[in-house]
Amino acid sequence: MPECNNIYSDKKTVTVNGREYQWPVQSTVVVCFDGCDPQYIDAASQAGLIPNLDKMRGSGFAGKALASMPTFTNPNNVSIVCGVSPNVHGVSGNFYFDRETGKDVMMVDSSPVRAPTLLSAFSRAGAKVVAITAKDKLRKALGKDLDGIAFSAEKANDATEAENGIGNVEALVGRSAPDQYSADLSLFVLDAGITLLETTRPDICYLSLSDYVQHKHAPNDPQALEFMVAVDQRLGKMLSLGARLGIVADHGMSDMADAGGNPRIVYLSDLLDEAFGAGKCRVICPITDPFVRHHGALGGFIRIHLMAPDIAIHDVLNFVRNIPGVALALPRDEACLMFEVADDREGDIAVVAIKGVALGAGKADHDLSQLSGARLRSHGSLTEQVVPFITSIPVKADPTHRLRNFDIFFALLNEAI
């Protein structure tokens, strides 16, 4: 065990955000399988295509866990590496409206992350830590204060020792950085992780994939099954290298098109403008990010900010609650309580869709041509909150504990049986 050089650690444990983690006894790898609805695993398993995942499920632990709300990538990845919910770390979306400045904020780095990550805490306690993400904006967030290796597949060719703790990543992995709209973006993350497992043997390794495949393909589509095969082979490789492996997802994935293939979308901004006057209610789609080609910034959760003093929140709540396709509309305090979101990172109203329906701002705000005729598949709602929770070792399973995806490091490090 390495010497400790940090207040977080007493040589045997590292405490961060109120949770005390045991020091890893073997290379401990968490894969955040972006958008991996449990149905993807079920479909591939039934087709006999994922022997390594099946083996983990048989001899380790196979459960389901709740993702954080809203079920988007950033809040959940940050929750997993912090080991706590969004009300602690402050990240509630990819995109938000800052009430203090009156400006829209796109999350492109770690600035909205206001809790330490367990990756940084372990690295500062002397552990060898690796974080690899599909997209670089997430690497910047998860790499906060990390004294180790952190890079993205997207910007693999730009990685440097100074910025990322490692250079020449393409040479290391043996191929070029993949296109950001490709299944290979995720496979590159896993291959880079395998290479580092073989070479530097990190104590803690976090591998965060992309949901490009799941946005485009249903669980039984050949392309989805092919992707599951490719991921499974890489998980097998990691297991053969002696890794203790945990797999969770940041969110599930739902089909949001009708029988004719047309996306089922409620354009809330248009409806609100019509009911209350143009611009009185501002709709924020927190799924918005620079990579919209596979979902058109459409998901199952939006936020409303009331922009005029003459708008009564009760009237807006009543109106929104009765729009077909809306499951739940909550004022800020109730949304924060129910979804464990920080008060200053929530809208005046949070709106959750029913399964199979997307919530948008205005029709003009979403470019559906980006879907290229594919069925809309997306996430964000309560109905994509249940995700796989699989570990390569048996872990304590308390049936009365509401398992969360952000319990995965704790389970791997502390709850082996």
- Contact call for residues 197 and 238 (beta carbons, < 8 A): yes
CB of 352 to a second copy, least distance (A): 8
Question: Cα–Cα distances in Å, from 361 out to 148, 308, 371?
Answer: 40, 18, 17
Which of 287, 272, 257 lies closest to 363, judged by CA? 272
Q: Least distance (Å) from a second copy to the CB of residue 66?
A: 6
Rounded Cα distance, 44 and 151, in Å? 29
Do residues 14 and 124 touch, judged by C-beta distance below 8 A? no
Q: Minimal distance in Å, beta carbon 324 to a second copy?
A: 6
Question: Distance between CA 149 and CA 190 in Å, rounded?
Answer: 15
**H or E element in which residue 390 lies:** strand 386-391
Considering the complex, what minimum distance in angstroms separates the CB of residue 130 from a second copy?
Answer: 28
For a second copy, the closer CB: 65 or 131:
65
Q: Mind giving me the DSSP string for 228-278?
A: HHHHHHHHHHHHHTT-EEEEE-S---EE-B-TTS-B-EEEHHHHHHHHH-T
Cβ count near 47 (within 10 Å): 13
- Least distance from a second copy to the Cβ atom of residue 414, Å: 17
Residue closer to a second copy (CB basis): 321 or 375: 321
In one-letter notation, the amino acid at residue 372 is S
> Helix or strand or coil: residue 63?
strand
Q: Which is nearer to a second copy, 112 or 165 (CB)?
A: 112
Smaller CB separation from a second copy, 280 or 321 = 321
Least distance (Å) between residue 296 CB and a second copy: 22
163: enclosing H helix or E strand: helix 161-164
CA separation for the pair 151, 163 (Å, rounded):
9
Q: Which is nearer to a second copy, 44 or 84 (CB)?
A: 84
Smallest gap from residue 348 Cβ to a second copy (A): 16
Nearest to 392 by CA among 46, 58, 136, 148: 58
Contacting residues toward a second copy, per CB under 8 A? 64-66, 84-85, 87-88, 321-322, 324, 326-329, 333-334, 337-338, 340, 342-343, 354-356, 382-383, 385-386, 399-400, 402-403
Q: Residue 24 or residue 112: which is nearer to a second copy going by CB? A: 112
Nearer to a second copy, 58 or 399 (CB): 399
- 369: tokens are 């041509």
- Residue 78 identity: V
SS3 assignment, position 331: strand
- Cβ-based nearer residue to a second copy, 11 or 396: 396
* Cα end-to-end span (Å), the chain: 21
Find out whether 94 and 27 touch, Cβ atoms under 8 Å. no
CB of 63 to a second copy, least distance (A): 9
Q: Output 166 or 329, the one with its CB closest to a second copy.
A: 329
Q: How far is the CB of 394 from a second copy (least distance, A)?
A: 19
